[in-house]
Amino acid sequence: MAYIDFLSAIHKSTVRDYLGRVTDPEFPKAAAAELAKLWAYDYWDGDRRTGYGGMKYDGRWRKVADAMIAHYGLKPGNRILDIGCGKGFLMYDLTQAVPGIEVVGVEISNYAKEHAKPEIQEKIVIANAASLPFGDASFDLVFGINTHHNLRNFELDAALREMMRVGKQHRYLCVESFRNESEKANLLYWQLTCRTFAAPEEWEWLFQQAGYTGDHSFIYFE
């Protein structure tokens, strides 16, 4: 298991008003989280206070795609699974960077699939990360970015085991975490859908319990 950071550049480019998300009178935190967890319009394309504030393709994921391709040596014919793929932007960028690569996405949100990048929409399967509808060792790379912390603990264990089952070579996940009380508070203030709150050493314990031996990284709210 290796720590590999593909996401910091994108994550740190966003300015966040942590206190504003908690104290907003129109969208109190609890109400905003309830809307977000419907995984529908409000989360993907509604107000920024209830989610992404309008998720549009802008090419920012290409740098992540290029880094993953270089690190894992991906080539035409490889099969890639994106767990929690959203609207498929990273999937699309992978296909543009390596023509001939085969991508599949898993997403729990019907809305996300209906509004996905048209070129990739048919490659998205509606399913739960804890029960993947694929055979053993089906993919050369299985990854989940900003997805697994949204699972309950019993779902998380199953989802990590599923990553091991359907992957045959490379696995990678990125989850939210905290190294100190300041980052913990910021995470609690900002998150809308997170269900597993754990420090790095706690995440690593969870990985060990589930037998997850793939790569990983953490996102911190500094």
pLDDT tens for the chain, 222 residues long, are 899 999 988 888 888 999 889 999 999 999 999 999 999 999 999 999 999 999 999 999 999 999 999 999 999 999 999 999 999 999 999 999 999 999 999 999 999 999 999 999 999 999 999 999 999 999 999 999 999 999 998 899 999 999 999 999 999 999 999 999 999 999 999 999 999 999 999 999 999 999 999 999 999 999
According to the model, what pLDDT value does residue 193 have?
A: 97
CA distance 61 to 75: 18
Dihedral over Cα of 24, 195, 109, 160: its sign? positive
Tell me the one-letter amino acid at 179: R
Return the ∠ at Cα 164 (arms to 98 and 212), rounded to 5°.
115
> Using an 8 Å Cβ cutoff, are 192 and 32 in contact?
yes
Non-local CB neighbours of 100 within 8 Å, separated by 6+ positions: 75, 76, 77
Tell which residue, 122, 130, 111, 66, has the closest CA to residue 93: 66
Edge to edge, the sheet with strand 167-176 lists: 124-126, 102-107, 79-83, 139-145, 167-176, 215-219
* pTM, entire model: 0.96
Structure token digits, residue 115: 């509004």
What number of H helices and E strands is found in the chain? 10, 6
Burial 145-159 (b: 16+ CB within 10 A, else e): bbbbbbbeeebbbbb
According to the model, what pLDDT value does residue 170 have?
A: 97
According to the model, what pLDDT value does residue 153 have?
A: 87
Give the residue carrying structure tokens 């997170």. 194
Domain extents in the chain: 8-219
Tell me the one-letter amino acid at 95: T
**Under DSSP, is residue 4 helix (H, G, I), strand (E, B) or coil?**
coil
Per CATH, which fold does 8-219 belong to?
A: Rossmann fold (3.40.50)
